[in-house]
Chains A and B, each alone.
Chain A
Amino acid sequence: EAGVAQSPRYKIIEKRQSVAFWCNPISGHATLYWYQQILGQGPKLLIQFQNNGVVDDSQLPKDRFSAERLKGVDSTLKIQPAKLEDSAVYLCASGRRTDTQYFGPGTRLTVL
C-alpha cells in the first residue's frame, strides 16, 4: 500500500510569512497526527485527528498554528505568521488504531 504522502518536502520562508503543509494519510487510516521535530529532538505532537474530529490539540500554538481535516482524509497544517523558532521538520503520521503510527517523509521548514 502507498505510504503517507506529504508536500512540499522543503520550504524556506521569511519570518511573519504564512506557510501551509499538506498530508495524505494511508488509505483507510482514521487517525492522523501532525508532529513538529526540531533538530536534535524527538517529535512533539501538535494535533491528532480521529476522522475529521480533533482528539488532542493541547500542544498546538493556536495563536499561529491551525490544522484541518475536513473530509476525514487529507489534512493541512498552517502557520501564520511564522517565527524563527518554527524552523523544524513537520511530520504527518496516520494509523488505523492509536497504538501504531506510520510516518510520512516530513516537510523541512526553514524560517529566515
Chain B
Amino acid sequence: GNSVTQMEGPVTLSEEAFLTINCTYTATGYPSLFWYVQYPGEGLQLLLKATKADDKGSNKGFEATYRKETTSFHLEKGSVQVSDSAVYFCALVELTGNQFYFGTGTSLTVIP
C-alpha cells in the first residue's frame, strides 16, 4: 500500500539555521510528491511538488528532490526565518489513483 513517513517534531531552530525535514514514502506505482505547509489557524497550502524521479521542487527558498532510489523527498531550506514557523506535511498521490496520502506533519518553530 501507499504511505508517507515524516520525521517527528517538534523542530526548533534559530533564525538563519539550515532546515531539513525528512520524508520517505511507500508507493505501489509512480507517485507525485508534495510538501504542504499549514500556518496556525489556516488550511494547508501547497509549498512545492515534484512529479517524477530526480525532479526538484522549489518555492520560497524551500527545495525538495524526488529520490526514487531512496524513496525520499526531504525538505530543505538554507536559512529559515521566523515566518517559516508552521506545520509541514509531506504527501503523495499515485498517477493512476486519486487518493492523497499525507504524513503526520512536522511542526517547525523558528526563534529569533
| A42 contacts B43, C-beta separation under 8 Å | no
Q: Which one of B4, B95, B103, B104 lies within 8 Å of A99 (CB-CB)? A: B95
Q: Do A91 and B49 contact each other (CB < 8 Å), given the known contacts A99-B32, A99-B93?
A: no
Of A12-20, A70-78, A80-88, A100-108, the one with at least 4 CB within 8 A of chain B: A100-108
Q: Chain B's nearest CB lies how many Å from the CB of A89? A: 8
- A104 and B97 CA atoms in complex are apart in Å by 22
| B49 contacts A4, C-beta separation under 8 Å | no
Q: Which one of A55, A100, A102 lies within 8 Å of B49 (CB-CB)? A: A100
Q: Using Cβ atoms and an 8 Å threshold, which residues of chain A touch B82?
A: none
Q: Do A105 and B99 contact each other (CB < 8 Å), given the known contacts A42-B105, A99-B32?
A: no
| A41 contacts B104, C-beta separation under 8 Å | yes
| B105 contacts A103, C-beta separation under 8 Å | no
- A99 and B96 CA atoms in complex are apart in Å by 10
Q: Does A45 contact B (CB under 8 A)?
A: yes
| A55 contacts B98, C-beta separation under 8 Å | yes
- A98 and B91 CA atoms in complex are apart in Å by 13
| A105 contacts B93, C-beta separation under 8 Å | no
| A43 contacts B102, C-beta separation under 8 Å | yes
Q: Do A100 and B46 contact each other (CB < 8 Å), given the known contacts A48-B99, A56-B99?
A: yes
8 chain-A/chain-B pairs, Cβ below 8 angstroms: A40-B104, A43-B89, A43-B102, A48-B99, A55-B98, A99-B32, A99-B51, A104-B43
Q: Residues on A close to B: CB < 8 A?
A: 4, 6, 31, 33, 40-45, 48, 55-56, 91, 93, 98-106
> Which 6 residue pairs across A and B have the least CB separation, nearest first?
A42-B102, A103-B43, A103-B44, A105-B43, A98-B98, A42-B104
